[in-house]
C-alpha cells in the first residue's frame, strides 16, 4: 500500500494572515456599517480572500449572541507586499477611527495557502 503524497499548489499571488485585536471597550457596532462598506470593495477586487471576527475564549461560533463577544478581526489578504497590506488596513474605518482596532497589536504575516478553498456549512 502506498502512502498518499501531497503536492503544494502553485500560487500566483502573495497572501498574508492579518491578526487584529480590538482595543478594550472597542466601539465596533458604531463603525460596523462603514467597515463593511469598505470591505465589500476589497472582497470584490480579490484583496480580501476570507475574514471574520475573533471571539472570546468562552464563546462558540454557534452562539446566537456571538457578536457581543468579539475581541478582534482576522483576515487572509492577497497583496504584493506587507507594506501594501498595511496601507490597506490603515484605510479601514476600524483603523482610522482609533476606536476599534488596537494599532500596536496588529500582526501581518506572510502565509502560504495550502488549502485554497474550503466550504463551511
Looking at residue 1, its pLDDT comes to 53
Q: Residue 29: pLDDT band by 50, 70, 90 thresholds?
A: very high
Tell me the three cell numbers of residue 49: 480572500
| Separation CA 85–CA 82 (nearest Å) | 5
pTM above 0.85, yes or no: yes
pLDDT in tens, 81-108: 999 999 999 999 999 999 999 999 999 9
Architecture per CATH, 15-110: 2-Layer Sandwich (3.30)
Task: List C-alpha distances in Å: 105 to 18, 21, 22, 102.
Answer: 11, 6, 9, 6
Tell me the three cell numbers of residue 111: 502565509
Amino acid at each position: 500500500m502506498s502512502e498518499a503524497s501531497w503536492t503544494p499548489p502553485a500560487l500566483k499571488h502573495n497572501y498574508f494572515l492579518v491578526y487584529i485585536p480590538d482595543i478594550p471597550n472597542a466601539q465596533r457596532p458604531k463603525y460596523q456599517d462603514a467597515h463593511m462598506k469598505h470591505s465589500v470593495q476589497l472582497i470584490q477586487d480579490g484583496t480580501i480572500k476570507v475574514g471574520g471576527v475573533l471571539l472570546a475564549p468562552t464563546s462558540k461560533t454557534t452562539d446566537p449572541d456571538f457578536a457581543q463577544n468579539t475581541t478582534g478581526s482576522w483576515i487572509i489578504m492577497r497583496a504584493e507586499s506587507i507594506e501594501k497590506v498595511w496601507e490597506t488596513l490603515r484605510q479601514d474605518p476600524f483603523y482610522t477611527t482609533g476606536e476599534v482596532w488596537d494599532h500596536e497589536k496588529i500582526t501581518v504575516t506572510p502565509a502560504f495557502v495550502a488549502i485554497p478553498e474550503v466550504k463551511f456549512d
